[in-house]
C-alpha cells in the first residue's frame, strides 16, 4: 500500500507542524462559518485569504484552501436548510427538501443528516482521491501534451457555460468575458502588448487577485446590501436536534448512489460540486417510488444532495493536481495560490513536491472527518454567530478585501479594480450571468491560449492534426456536443417556471 504509507507520512507531517495544525483548524472553522453565514460563502473567505497566502508556504496555502473547500460545502447546507439561502449553488438542492423540513419542525434532523452525509461523502471521496490521483498524474505526464490540455480546457469551459448561468448564452458570455480579461497584457507567444491603452498598469495584465476578490467577496456584499436596503433580507429563528443513526442507515442506497454520482461529477472540469448536488438530487427523485414527497421535506433529498456535493470535493482535486486544470471557482483560486509561489499545478507537482500533495490529501481527509465532530458539537454555536447583523459584517469584509487587494503589490489601483469588478459582478449577477464562469475564464484563459499556440505549432498549423490525437479529439467533440446539446434543449424543450 504505497498510497497508505504516503497518507501516514502526510498525516504525521500535518500534525507535527504547529503552524500547520493552526491553519488546519482555522480553515475547518472558517470554512464552516463562512459557508453558514447568510450573505457570504466559503468563496468569500477564500477570496479574502488569497492575497495573504503569499505569507504562507505553498503547502500551507493549498492545504488551507482544500480544508475550506471541504467544510465550506457543508457550512452552506446549514443556511440552505434553515433559511432557504444556499450558502453556495452546490447547496441549492439541499434547500429543496431541507427548508420544507425546517417548516415542518424537522430542522435538527435535516442539519444532522447534512452533517453525517457531508462527512461520509467527503471522507470516502478523499480516500478515492488519494488512491487515484497519482496514477492519473503518471498517465497524464505521458498522454497529455498541449493539444490535450487545450481540448480539456475547451471541454471544461463548455460544460461550465452550459450549466452555470441562467441561459446557455449567458453562460458563454460570462466565460468569454473572463477570457477577454485574461487577454489584457502581454501575449503568451510573442510578448506583444494587447489592450494596454498606453497604461503600464494594463501592460502587466489585470491581476487575478483583485478581480477574484471583486467578483466573489465584493459583489456578494453588494447583492446582500440591496436586499438589506430593500427589506428582502431577513434572519429567522431556529433550534437544532439530531436524527437517529437508524434513520440514516435506512438511506444507505441513496448515500452510495450519491457518492458515485458526486465523485464522477467532481472529476469533470467545469462545475464540479454544483452539478454533483443537482444530479445526486435528481437521481434520488428518479429512483424513488415516492416521487411526489420530494420537495415537501423528504430526508432523502437532503441526504442525496449533501452526500453528492461533498463527494465532489475530493474528486475536484484530481484534475487540479493531476492535470493542472481547475474545475470550479475555488480550485481556480488554488491555481492562484500555486502561481503566487511560482509553481504550476499539474502532474509535475507529484514529482517536485510530493510532501505538499500528501499533506493536502491528509488535511482533506481529516477536514471531512472533523465535519462530523465539529458539526455535532458546534452547530449551535455557529447558529448564534449567524445573528451578527449583516450591516456590521459587510464593512469588515469590504475592508479585509481592500487590505488584501492592496497587499498583493502595494498598488491602490488594484483596490479600485477590485471594487469596479465588484460593481460589475453585482450587475452581472442580477442579470443571470455567472461570476464563477468569469473567474474560470480568467484563470483558464492564459493556459488555454498558451496550450492552443503550442498545440498549433506542434501540429504544424494543421487543424486535422487533432484527428491523430484521440484524447484531444474526444474532448473537443465532447465540448462541442455539450454546447450543441444545451442549445438544443434551450430551443426545443420546456422551461422552468
Dist. CA 192–CA 451, nearest whole Å = 17
Taking CB under 8 A as the binding criterion, the range among 64-72, 254-262, 286-294, 489-497 that sits at the site for other proteins is: 489-497
**Residues 3, 127, 131, 183: which binds other proteins (CB under 8 A)?**
183
Q: Could you write out the DSSP letters of every residue in 23-78?
A: HHHHHHHHHHHHHHSTT--HHHHHHHHGGGGGGS-HHHHHHHHHHHHHHHHHHHHH
Does 270 bind other proteins (CB under 8 A)? Our answer is no
| Residue closer to other proteins, measured from CB, 289 or 493 | 493
Dist. CA 449–CA 54, nearest whole Å = 26
Does 490 bind other proteins (CB under 8 A)? Our answer is yes
- Rounded to the nearest 5 degrees, what angle is found at the Cα of 123, between the Cα atoms of 118 and 125? 95
Taking CB under 8 A as the binding criterion, the range among 243-251, 255-263, 286-294, 424-432 that sits at the site for other proteins is: 424-432
**Contacts with other proteins in 291-320 (CB under 8 A)?**
none
**Residues 418, 439, 442, 455: which binds other proteins (CB under 8 A)?**
418
Does 289 bind other proteins (CB under 8 A)? Our answer is no
Q: Are 24 and 13 in contact (CB under 8 A)?
A: no
Does 415 bind other proteins (CB under 8 A)? Our answer is yes
Does 240 bind other proteins (CB under 8 A)? Our answer is no
**Contacts with other proteins in 202-231 (CB under 8 A)?**
218, 222-223, 225-230
Residues paired with residue 186 on neighbouring β-strands, in sequence order: 193
Q: How far is the CB of 434 from other proteins (least distance, A)?
A: 8
Does 403 bind other proteins (CB under 8 A)? Our answer is yes
| Cell numbers representing residue 104 in the block | 415542518
Residue located via cell numbers 437532503 = 302
Does 442 bind other proteins (CB under 8 A)? Our answer is no
Does 169 bind other proteins (CB under 8 A)? Our answer is yes
Q: How far is the CB of 27 from other proteins (least distance, A)?
A: 17
Number of alpha helices (DSSP H) and beta strands (DSSP E) in the chain: 22, 2
**Residues 33, 119, 173, 284: which binds other proteins (CB under 8 A)?**
173
Q: Could you write out the DSSP letters of every residue in 419-452?
A: HHHHHHHHHHHHTT--HHHHHHHHHHHHHHHHHH
Does 15 bind other proteins (CB under 8 A)? Our answer is no
Q: How far is the CB of 29 from other proteins (least distance, A)?
A: 17
Number of residues that bind other proteins (CB under 8 A): 91
Q: Are 118 and 368 in contact (CB under 8 A)?
A: yes
Count of C-beta atoms within a 10 Å radius of residue 244: 10
Does 493 bind other proteins (CB under 8 A)? Our answer is yes
Does 390 bind other proteins (CB under 8 A)? Our answer is yes
Say if residue 86 is exposed, middle or buried (CB neighbours under 10 Å; 0-12, 13-18, 19+): buried
Q: How far is the CB of 269 from other proteins (least distance, A)?
A: 16
DSSP category for residue 193: E
483-488's contacts with Cβ under 8 Å and 24+ in sequence apart are 483/158, 483/161, 483/162, 483/168, 483/172, 485/162, 486/162, 486/163, 486/168, 487/168
| Residue closer to other proteins, measured from CB, 228 or 341 | 228
Residues in the chain: 497
**Residues 274, 307, 331, 368: which binds other proteins (CB under 8 A)?**
274
**Contacts with other proteins in 45-64 (CB under 8 A)?**
52, 55
Does 150 bind other proteins (CB under 8 A)? Our answer is no
| Residue closer to other proteins, measured from CB, 179 or 261 | 179
Taking CB under 8 A as the binding criterion, the range among 254-262, 352-360, 370-378, 421-429 that sits at the site for other proteins is: 421-429
| Residue closer to other proteins, measured from CB, 225 or 372 | 225
Q: Are 71 and 49 in contact (CB under 8 A)?
A: no
Q: How far is the CB of 14 from other proteins (least distance, A)?
A: 24
Query: Nearest to residue 284, comparing CAs of 267, 274, 298, 272?
Result: 298
**Contacts with other proteins in 73-112 (CB under 8 A)?**
85-86, 89, 92-93
Dist. CA 379–CA 75, nearest whole Å = 9
**Contacts with other proteins in 109-138 (CB under 8 A)?**
none
Q: How far is the CB of 115 from other proteins (least distance, A)?
A: 22
| Residue closer to other proteins, measured from CB, 400 or 475 | 400
Dist. CA 323–CA 326, nearest whole Å = 9
Q: 3-state class of 289 per DSSP?
A: coil
Amino acid at each position: 500500500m504505497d498510497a497508505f504509507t504516503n497518507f501516514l507520512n502526510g498525516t504525521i507531517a500535518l500534525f507535527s507542524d504547529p503552524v500547520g495544525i493552526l491553519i488546519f483548524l482555522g480553515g475547518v472553522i472558517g470554512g464552516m462559518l463562512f459557508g453558514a453565514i447568510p450573505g457570504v460563502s466559503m468563496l468569500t473567505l477564500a477570496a479574502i485569504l488569497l492575497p495573504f497566502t503569499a505569507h504562507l508556504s505553498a503547502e500551507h496555502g493549498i492545504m488551507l484552501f482544500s480544508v475550506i473547500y471541504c467544510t465550506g460545502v457543508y457550512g452552506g447546507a446549514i443556511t440552505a436548510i434553515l433559511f432557504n439561502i444556499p450558502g453556495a449553488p452546490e447547496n441549492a438542492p439541499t434547500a429543496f427538501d431541507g427548508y420544507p423540513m425546517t417548516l415542518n419542525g424537522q430542522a435538527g434532523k435535516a442539519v444532522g443528516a447534512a452533517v453525517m452525509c457531508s462527512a461520509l461523502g467527503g471522507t470516502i471521496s478523499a480516500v478515492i482521491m488519494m488512491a487515484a490521483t497519482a496514477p492519473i498524474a503518471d498517465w497524464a505526464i505521458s498522454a497529455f501534451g498541449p493539444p490535450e490540455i487545450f481540448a480539456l480546457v475547451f471541454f471544461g469551459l463548455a460544460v461550465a457555460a452550459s450549466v452555470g448561468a441562467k441561459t446557455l448564452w449567458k453562460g458563454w458570455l460570462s466565460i468569454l468575458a473572463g477570457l477577454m480579461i485574461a487577454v489584457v497584457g502581454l501575449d503568451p507567444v510573442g510578448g506583444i502588448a494587447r489592450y494596454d491603452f498606453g497604461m503600464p498598469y494594463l501592460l502587466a495584465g489585470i491581476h487575478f487577485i483583485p478581480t477574484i476578490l471583486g467578483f466573489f467577496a465584493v459583489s456578494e456584499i453588494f447583492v446582500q446590501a440591496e436586499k438589506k436596503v430593500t427589506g428582502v433580507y431577513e434572519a429567522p429563528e431556529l433550534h437544532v436536534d439530531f436524527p437517529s443513526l437508524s434513520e440514516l442507515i435506512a438511506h444507505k442506497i441513496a448515500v452510495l448512489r450519491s457518492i458515485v454520482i458526486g465523485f464522477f461529477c467532481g472529476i469533470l472540469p467545469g462545475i464540479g460540486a454544483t452539478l454533483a448536488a443537482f444530479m445526486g438530487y435528481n437521481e434520488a427523485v428518479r429512483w424513488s417510488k415516492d416521487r411526489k414527497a420530494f420537495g415537501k421535506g423528504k430526508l432523502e433529498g437532503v441526504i442525496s444532495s449533501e452526500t453528492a456535493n461533498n463527494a465532489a470535493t475530493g474528486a475536484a482535486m484530481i484534475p487540479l493536481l493531476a492535470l493542472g486544470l481547475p474545475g470550479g471557482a475555488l480550485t481556480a483560486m488554488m491555481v492562484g495560490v500555486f502561481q503566487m509561489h511560482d509553481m504550476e499545478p499539474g502532474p509535475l507537482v507529484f514529482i517536485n513536491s510530493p510532501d505538499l500533495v500528501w499533506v493536502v490529501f491528509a488535511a482533506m481527509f481529516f477536514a471531512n472527518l472533523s465535519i462530523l465532530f465539529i458539526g455535532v458539537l458546534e452547530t449551535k454555536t455557529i447558529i448564534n454567530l449567524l445573528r451578527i447583523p449583516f450591516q456590521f459584517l459587510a464593512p469588515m469584509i469590504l475592508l479585509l478585501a481592500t487590505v488584501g487587494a492592496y497587499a498583493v503589490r502595494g498598488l491602490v489601483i488594484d483596490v479600485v479594480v477590485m471594487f469596479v469588478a465588484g460593481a460589475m459582478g453585482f450587475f452581472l449577477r442580477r442579470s443571470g450571468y455567472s461570476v464563477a464562469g468569469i473567474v474560470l475564464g480568467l484563470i483558464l484563459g492564459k493556459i488555454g491560449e498558451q496550450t492552443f499556440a503550442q498545440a498549433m505549432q506542434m501540429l504544424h498549423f494543421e487543424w486535422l492534426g487533432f484527428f491523430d490525437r484521440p484524447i484531444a479529439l474526444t474532448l473537443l467533440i465532447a465540448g462541442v456536443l455539450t454546447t450543441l446539446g444545451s442549445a438544443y434543449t434551450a430551443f426545443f424543450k420546456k422551461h422552468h417556471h
